[in-house]
Structure 1
Amino acid sequence: MGSRGTGSGSAGGSTALLTDAYELTMLQSALRSGAASRRCTFEVFARRLPDGRRYGVVAGTARLLDALERFRFDEGVLEALREDGRLDAATVEHLAGYRFTGEVEGYAEGELYFPGSPVLSVTGTFAEAVVIETLVLSVFNHDCAVASAAARMAVAAGGRPIVEMGSRRTHEEAAVASARAAHLAGFTSTSNLEAGRRYGVPVSGTSAHAFTLLHDSEEEAFRAQVAALGTGTTLLVDTYDIQRGIETAVRVAGPQLGAVRIDSGDLAVLAVKARAQLDALGATQTRIVLSGDLDEFGLAALAAAPVDAYGVGTSVVQGSGAPTAGMVYKVVEVEGRPVAKRSESKATHGGRKTALRRHRSSGTATEEVVSAGPVPEREPGDRPLQVPLVRGGERVGPASHGADLAAAREHLEEVLVTMPWEGLALSRGEPAIPTRVLPPV
């Protein structure tokens, strides 16, 4: 697979062993049976949305393309496989020349998905496609979960900026991916420096309570921060007493103080009191930033409070109660023949799918139409959902950073507007729009 470039400084090294052992043992068995060369299509989809969710957000596509470009069994990886001993020499030799030369298409990053949506389709030989299953699912299940939670939070925030600040609540690499997914889904910036370097996500951050406690007094700490960062900085005012903290902050920085941050307590009540106190001190332009175990429900509860921005950490990087998107990677076609799993609780629809979304003349979406047969006849307002990502092994899909990441943010904003208003509610209910699957003819 050829390279079109990845984010500057993106994590390097082979991704070939970011996989489950059975991918390679299946490959070995298929090589022996002669079935490894059969052309197959695998699809990624969610059978259902996490409990209480009305829609999902596609994220991670470009990160997957980055990882697929590095899916190489180099000599170090091959030696590890030889030492492991579970694969025969012929399989190891096959892997030494592995290159994905197939086709990938899927929903654009920032697109919404629903139960049964063919979020990604991978077509190639069984040998090419089966070994990337775990990599595909680990990227999509993580990034889609974070983006789906972040989108709900951005909607609940009502346009107020949100800083992603959950790096200390997850794995160090998951933190970088989470920051990207949250930014794609509407968060303004991140505290994670590597996400800024790798993907160009805007970075922000000032100080923690430790900085205040380091100094002999709150005033001394504030003076040091203002001296270093200027009066436009954000001062954390809840280390001791919030009212005294705000008074000290304005005295030190003057009425031009950029913002105060409150990280604990009854945030709605404290925001009202802080606003009144700031205004009385002449700091009418000083913003109020709230943080402290916020999730989408907490943000919604603060809608009427005089808040200017939020910081959200643990809940967003952990998917706000849904840490995985529940995506699966299933073979749906072998040598042009539809195949399907028939087990009662995990049945699949055979055949390679096409998908479109139907809309009223007003622009409101009405349903997702997924066809395992001929492409449905287009109606006014229909929008095809799948875009090419890899053609003949060559990347044609978006980059994971820069203008392509910005375009994904914009796309999500546009498609959220098309959802029925009740579909954006935080309350439990059916998916925002139904999915209709047309079987093979």
Structure 2
Amino acid sequence: MHPVDLGLPVEVPSTALFTDQYELTMLQAALKSGTAHRRSVFETFTRRLPEGRRYGVVAGTGRVLDAVENFRFDEDLLGFLRERAVVDADTLDWLAGYRFSGDIWGYPEGEVYFPGSPLLRVEGSFAECVLLETVILSILNHDSAIAAAASRMSSAAGGRPLIEMGARRTHELAAVASSRAAYVGGFASTSDLAAGFRYDIPTVGTSAHAFTLLHDSERDAFRAQVDSLGRGTTLLVDTYDVAEAVRTAVEIAGTDLGAVRIDSGDLLLVAHRVRQQLDELGARNTKITVTSDLDEYAIASLAAAPVDAYGVGTQLVTGSGHPTCSMVYKLVARAGSADPAAELVPVAKKSLGGKTSIGGRKWAARRLDAEGVAEAEVIGTGEVPADLAGRQLLVPLVKGGEVIAREPLDAARDRHRAARAGLPLSATQLSRGEPVLPTVYV
């Protein structure tokens, strides 16, 4: 939930300078040449998935819509551009009235994608579309990378809840975006209060080792926490001796103790020992949460352990080794003149080194096998085959400059769960492999 929805005053900053200078210098040159107002189609896609990944996850779409809506050049921004002589006076005058008035289509947030998938299609004049390139890529590359890592971790967790706790491992604003993307990818909660405030994600947290070290004894620390937060709290039991801490925790909180957290050591071995000890002490309903530099592989290795929840930080907010998705934003079609009725002409980059692209305004659909399991990502231009008409993936997001597709974050989260469930079983394998679906061009 956005703070505005709570009736709270929020100053929404402009996103107009979240861009590269060459977007504005291209604009200036196009305005001078008379080509700036040619109708154009840009598409966002990736040529390949990160090495070893079986699928990608679309995340950040809601943030993209906010960014497009808030892409405005006020007097301060125009003054900065004027002072730096980034563009000329005529271009500054044009930027002063900038409002995106085109259309945007895209894969809905939470959907999965594959190499070549046209994740976002931006249509309008060249001038208004080209300015959005950097901010769109910045959001989608980051958020989709985090969501993909979160999805793999969620799959490895096998239904056990995951807590996002990576705020201290990344930029403070990236931390909020990471929490949001992790929630889309399957995490249940976050430790980051800014993310909870901004996006209504459930927040959790109790204490760190510093709280135990503050007190004269571990017993004093546990008693203070239980007196303040109640018996349902989570006590951190690995500051000194785990077995002694568990014993003390149950003595103080009783068998109604909510949970214990383990943050170091051989988590598989320690979790088994702690579970046995809790059961012997009568605290059979006390849960075990583990943290400590977890990634999807470590989580999978704990599948047989008596663990009830996982807390993940560093590996999540860095994309578990893949902090970006290598998405690009390419012009794929443009009109031959500024006449609104001019026909669109496909265009494509023909560079060497595997950086070519395919021209034309594209559609995408997911073909299913006889059992309803996805078997191919089909991409084409022109007419959509009749058998795929009901399986199209792009949906309208912006129409005539107006956002028409805002939705609750839980909708994206639920969509991702359903999309992942519709893939072949091999999609959840953590071993390195090719994309689980082939991309077929028609």
Tell me the TM-score normalised to structure 1 length.
Answer: 0.96
Query: Which residue number in structure 2 is paired with residue 416 of structure 1?
Result: 420
Judged with a 3 Å threshold, the aligned counterparts in structure 2 of structure 1 residues 287 and 210 are, in CA distance, closer, same or farther, namely same
Deviations 1:384-411 (A, max 9, x none): 1011000000100124xxxx21111111
Query: Which residue number in structure 2 is paired with residue 360 of structure 1?
Result: 369
Aligned partners of 2:400, 2:297: CA distance in 1, in Å?
45
Alignment of 1:13-412 (within 5 A): 13-335=13-335, 336-344=344-352, 345-379=354-388, 383-399=391-407, 404-412=408-416
Residue 14 of structure 1 deviates from its aligned partner by 0.8
Letter in 2 for 1:151: S
Aligned partners of 2:5, 2:129: CA distance in 1, in Å?
25
- Asked whether the 8 Å contact 1:255–1:284 carries over to 2, the reply is yes
Find the residue that maps to 1:40 and give its secondary structure: strand
Aligned partners of 1:163, 1:76: CA distance in 2, in Å?
40
Deviations 1:387-436 (A, max 9, x none): 1000000100124xxxx211111111111111111122111111011111
Residue 7 of structure 1 deviates from its aligned partner by 6.0
Letter in 2 for 1:292: S
Judged with a 3 Å threshold, the aligned counterparts in structure 2 of structure 1 residues 7 and 363 are, in CA distance, closer, same or farther, namely farther
Letter in 2 for 1:437: Y
Deviations 1:301-349 (A, max 9, x none): 0000001001000011110000001100000000110000011220000
Find the residue that maps to 2:155 and give its secondary structure: helix
- Asked whether the 8 Å contact 2:40–2:126 carries over to 1, the reply is yes
Aligned partners of 1:7, 1:81: CA distance in 2, in Å?
34
Judged with a 3 Å threshold, the aligned counterparts in structure 2 of structure 1 residues 163 and 99 are, in CA distance, closer, same or farther, namely same
Judged with a 3 Å threshold, the aligned counterparts in structure 2 of structure 1 residues 5 and 342 are, in CA distance, closer, same or farther, namely farther
Letter in 2 for 1:358: R
- Asked whether the 8 Å contact 2:3–2:197 carries over to 1, the reply is no
Residue 379 of structure 1 deviates from its aligned partner by 4.7
Residue 26 of structure 1 deviates from its aligned partner by 0.4
- Asked whether the 8 Å contact 1:6–1:66 carries over to 2, the reply is no
Deviations 1:253-301 (A, max 9, x none): 0000000000011000000000000000110000000000000000000
Which range moves more in the overlay, 233-242 or 11-20?
Answer: 11-20
Find the residue that maps to 1:378 and give its secondary structure: helix
Find the residue that maps to 2:27 and give its secondary structure: helix
Aligned partners of 1:51, 1:373: CA distance in 2, in Å?
32
Aligned partners of 2:26, 2:252: CA distance in 1, in Å?
67
Aligned partners of 1:202, 1:356: CA distance in 2, in Å?
34
Aligned partners of 2:4, 2:351: CA distance in 1, in Å?
40
Deviations 1:147-168 (A, max 9, x none): 0000000000000000000000
Judged with a 3 Å threshold, the aligned counterparts in structure 2 of structure 1 residues 7 and 56 are, in CA distance, closer, same or farther, namely farther
Judged with a 3 Å threshold, the aligned counterparts in structure 2 of structure 1 residues 353 and 265 are, in CA distance, closer, same or farther, namely same
Residue 383 of structure 1 deviates from its aligned partner by 1.6
Aligned partners of 1:250, 1:339: CA distance in 2, in Å?
69
Letter in 1 for 2:372: G
- Asked whether the 8 Å contact 1:349–1:372 carries over to 2, the reply is no
Find the residue that maps to 1:433 and give its secondary structure: coil
Tell me the TM-score normalised to structure 2 length.
Answer: 0.95
- Asked whether the 8 Å contact 2:365–2:388 carries over to 1, the reply is no
Deviations 1:19-41 (A, max 9, x none): 10000000000001010000100
Aligned partners of 2:169, 2:432: CA distance in 1, in Å?
27
Aligned partners of 1:331, 1:323: CA distance in 2, in Å?
25
Structure 2: runs of 5 or more not aligned? 336-343
Residue 374 of structure 1 deviates from its aligned partner by 2.0
Aligned partners of 1:109, 1:90: CA distance in 2, in Å?
38
Identical-pair percentage: 59
Query: Which residue number in structure 1 is paired with residue 339 of structure 2?
Result: none
Deviations 1:192-216 (A, max 9, x none): 0011111100000001101111111
Aligned partners of 1:347, 1:85: CA distance in 2, in Å?
34
Judged with a 3 Å threshold, the aligned counterparts in structure 2 of structure 1 residues 5 and 261 are, in CA distance, closer, same or farther, namely closer
Judged with a 3 Å threshold, the aligned counterparts in structure 2 of structure 1 residues 379 and 355 are, in CA distance, closer, same or farther, namely closer
- Asked whether the 8 Å contact 2:366–2:388 carries over to 1, the reply is no
Deviations 1:28-85 (A, max 9, x none): 0000101000010000001000011000000000111111111000111111111111
- Asked whether the 8 Å contact 1:354–1:386 carries over to 2, the reply is yes
Judged with a 3 Å threshold, the aligned counterparts in structure 2 of structure 1 residues 193 and 120 are, in CA distance, closer, same or farther, namely same
Aligned partners of 1:246, 1:320: CA distance in 2, in Å?
32
Letter in 1 for 2:403: R
Find the residue that maps to 2:386 and give its secondary structure: coil
Residue 5 of structure 1 deviates from its aligned partner by 9.8
Find the residue that maps to 1:334 and give its secondary structure: strand
Letter in 2 for 1:340: A
Structure 2 residue 419 is the aligned partner of structure 1 residue 429: no
Find the residue that maps to 1:254 and give its secondary structure: helix
Aligned partners of 1:86, 1:270: CA distance in 2, in Å?
60
- Asked whether the 8 Å contact 2:364–2:392 carries over to 1, the reply is yes
Letter in 1 for 2:413: R
Judged with a 3 Å threshold, the aligned counterparts in structure 2 of structure 1 residues 6 and 370 are, in CA distance, closer, same or farther, namely farther
Find the residue that maps to 2:255 and give its secondary structure: coil
Judged with a 3 Å threshold, the aligned counterparts in structure 2 of structure 1 residues 173 and 437 are, in CA distance, closer, same or farther, namely same
